Amino acid sequence: MTQRASRLLRPDLCVIGAGSAGLTVAAGAAQMGASVVLVERGAMGGDCLNTGCVPSKALLAAAASAQAARTAERFGIGLPEPAIDFPAVMAHVRDVIAQIAPMDSVARFEGLGVTVLRDHARFVDARTVETGTGQCIRARRVVIATGSRPVVPPIPGLADGPFLTNETIFDLTDRPEHLVILGGGPIGCELAQAFRRLGSAVTLIEAKRLLGRDDPELTAVVRDRLTAEGVRIHEAWCAESVTQQAGRVRVRAADATGATASFEGSHLLVALGRAPVADALNLDVAGIAHTARGITVDDGLRTTNRRVYAIGDVTGGPQFTHVAGYHGALVLKSALFRLPIKASATALPHVTFTDPELAAIGLSEAEARARHGDAVRVLHWPFADTDRARCQRATDGLVKAVTDRKGRILGAAIVGAQAGDLLAPWILALHRGVPVRALATMVAPYPTLSETAKRTAGAYYASRLFSDRTRRVVRLLSRLG
C-alpha cells in the first residue's frame, strides 16, 4: 500500500501481529467465515519462525550431529573430530525457516480470505485502528498479538558496541571464536550448548541460578552436562559494565560478596529475557490498561477495553509459542461464538531444548509443598533404571512427579533424552484430572523411554505394595491352599 487510504474497513476481527498468536486467530476466524484484517509491520511468522523456536532448534540439531560424532566411541564406533562448516550450518538454519515460511506467508493468508496489511498499527480511539499509511479499521473485535522483544538492560557500555540477541545471532556467517552469554535462562543455555558443540569457546554469566525457574534437582543435570562439554558457567555473577576494543568484548561482573572479575570473548550475546512490544500502539487513547510487564487482561484475555483482546507474549505471561496458540484458540471461542473462556496458567508445559532436555508442567516440589504442606508425595524414576536409556547410553536424567495423598497429580518434571515428548502423558493427566493410578497401570511398550511415566507413577504404590503388611497377607493366603 503506497498511497494514503481513505476507505474505512469494517471486519469482524482486526488482528495486530502475525506471530503464532495472531496467525492462529486470523486463520481460524477466516476459515470459520469471519472477515479478518491482519496488520503486521515485520516478518510474517513473528519471533518463533524467524528468530526463535525454528532457527534455534535447527541450530541445536546441527550441533547434536557434531556431538554424536564426538561421542560415537561409546558405541564402539571411532570417528574423527567433526569438521564444522559454519556457513553451511547457518544455511541449514535458513533452509528450515524457508521450508516452514509458506504456512505463515501473506499468500496463504490471503488465500484464506484474510486482508493482510504490511504496516504499523495504532489506536486512534476506543474502536478504531489506523495503519501508518492512514488505512482505518473499525472492527467488531480487535486482537492485539504483537509479541515481545529481547530485553537490553542499561549496563554501562553495552550500547557502545555491537552485541547479539536472539534476533541477530542467526544472521552470523562466521563462527564466534569465543561467545560470552549474559543470561542463563532457556535461550542462554540452549545457545551456549549449540555454539560450544559447533566449536566456539563459550562463557555463560548468570546473575542468579542457571534455569532458575525450574527445579534445582533437575537443572543440576543440565548444568553438569554443559560443564562437561566445556561451557564455562559463572552463576551468581551480575554484569556491571561492558567494554569493546579491537574486536574483543570484556564483561566486568561482580558477585554477592562484592568481588569482581572480567570475562573476555569475541562476541557477546544478551539473553536476559523479553519485554512486550506495545509501545507504539497508542493504548491509552483506546482505554487499554498496561504496565511495563505487558497489557493487562482478565481471565478471558480481554483488556480494559471490552472490544479488545490481548494474547501471547504481549500480556506478560508465559512466553511460549504453544501458549500463544492456546490463547488464540480461546479467543476464537469468545470473539466469534461469545462463549465464556478462562485462560489457565496452572497446566502449561514448558521445555528447554538442551541435551538433556528439561520439561515440566504444573507445580514444582517447592510450589506443591508451599500449597499442600506435608500432604505432598514426591515420586522419582531415574533414566539409569530404564532399559531403553541404557541401550542408547542416555542415562543422565530422571522423572520427578508430585502428588497429593490421594494420588492426584500436581506436577511433573523430566530431565533427560526426549523429555519434551515424554511429558505428554503428564500433560494429559493434569488437564483431565487423571490420577497417578492410571499411569501406573497403563501398559507401556518395551523397551521405550515411555516406560519412565509408568515407573514413576508406580513408585506411588511401591511402599505399600512391597510392605511387611503385604508380605503377611501373601503368607496368610498361601496357607489357605
Q: Domain of 441: which CATH number?
A: 3.30.390.30
Give pLDDT, residue 78: 95
Same domain, 370 and 251: no
Give pLDDT, residue 472: 79
Give pLDDT, residue 473: 79
Q: Could you read off the pLDDT of 317-347 as tens digits, one per residue?
A: 999 999 999 999 999 999 999 999 999 877 8
Same domain, 292 and 269: no
Q: Where among 218, 248, 273 does a domain terminate?
A: 273
Q: Where among 224, 250, 273 does a domain terminate?
A: 273
184 known member of a binding site: yes
Same domain, 329 and 415: no
212 known member of a binding site: no
Give pLDDT, residue 213: 95
Same domain, 419 and 459: yes
Higher per-residue confidence, 117 vs 3? 117
Give pLDDT, residue 214: 97
22 known member of a binding site: no
> In this structure, is residue 350 part of a structural domain?
no
Q: Could you read off the pLDDT of 175-195 as tens digits, one per residue?
A: 999 999 999 999 999 999 999
Give pLDDT, residue 478: 86
177 known member of a binding site: no
Same domain, 43 and 75: yes
Residue type, 332: L
Same domain, 143 and 49: yes
> In this structure, is residue 471 part of a structural domain?
no
Same domain, 331 and 234: no
> In this structure, is residue 400 part of a structural domain?
yes
Q: Where among 273, 296, 320 does a domain terminate?
A: 273
183 known member of a binding site: yes
Give pLDDT, residue 6: 61
Same domain, 361 and 440: yes
Q: Could you read off the pLDDT of 395-452 as tens digits, one per residue?
A: 999 999 999 999 999 999 999 999 999 999 999 999 999 999 999 999 999 999 999 9
Q: Which residues fall within 8 angstroms of residue 104, CB to CB, at 6 or more apart? A: 18, 23, 44, 45, 49
313 known member of a binding site: yes
Same domain, 384 and 450: yes
Q: Could you read off the pLDDT of 231-251 as tens digits, one per residue?
A: 999 999 999 999 999 889 999
Give pLDDT, residue 457: 97
Give the separation between CA 224 and CA 439, rounded to whole angstroms: 30
pLDDT above 80 (res 109): yes
> In this structure, is residue 347 part of a structural domain?
no
Q: Give the helix ranges, DSSP H, for 139-249.
A: 186-197, 216-228
451 known member of a binding site: no
Q: Could you read off the pLDDT of 294-319 as tens digits, one per residue?
A: 999 999 999 999 999 999 999 999 99
Q: Distance from CA of residue 329 to its chain's centroid? A: 18
| 243 contacts 210 by C-beta, under 8 angstroms | no
Question: Peptide bond preceding 447: is omega within 30 degrees of 0, i.e. cis?
Answer: yes
Count of structural domains, the chain: 3
Q: Which residues fall within 8 angstroms of residue 161, CB to CB, at 6 or more apart? A: 242, 243, 244, 249
Average pLDDT over residues 216-224: 98
The fraction of the chain above a pLDDT of 90, given in percent, is 93
> In this structure, is residue 479 part of a structural domain?
no
420 known member of a binding site: no
| 57 contacts 50 by C-beta, under 8 angstroms | no
Same domain, 32 and 139: yes
Same domain, 262 and 177: yes
Query: For residue 243, what are the domain limits?
Result: 158-273
Average pLDDT over residues 282-290: 98
148 known member of a binding site: yes
> In this structure, is residue 224 part of a structural domain?
yes
147 known member of a binding site: yes
**CATH for 223:** 3.50.50.60
Q: Distance from CA of residue 278 to its chain's centroid? A: 21
| 375 contacts 404 by C-beta, under 8 angstroms | yes
The b/e string for 365-401 (b: 16+ C-beta within 10 A; e otherwise) is: beebbeebeeebbebebbbeebebbeeeebbbbbbbb
Which pairing describes strands 201-206 and 232-235: parallel, antiparallel, or unpaired?
Answer: parallel
188 known member of a binding site: yes
454 known member of a binding site: no
| 416 contacts 397 by C-beta, under 8 angstroms | yes
pLDDT above 90 (res 59): yes
411 known member of a binding site: no
> In this structure, is residue 5 part of a structural domain?
no
Sign of the Cα pseudo-torsion (348, 48, 195, 249, in order) = negative
The fraction of the chain above a pLDDT of 70, given in percent, is 99
pLDDT above 60 (res 70): yes
> In this structure, is residue 480 part of a structural domain?
no
Give the separation between CA 357 and CA 353, rounded to whole angstroms: 5
pLDDT above 90 (res 1): no
Same domain, 142 and 165: no
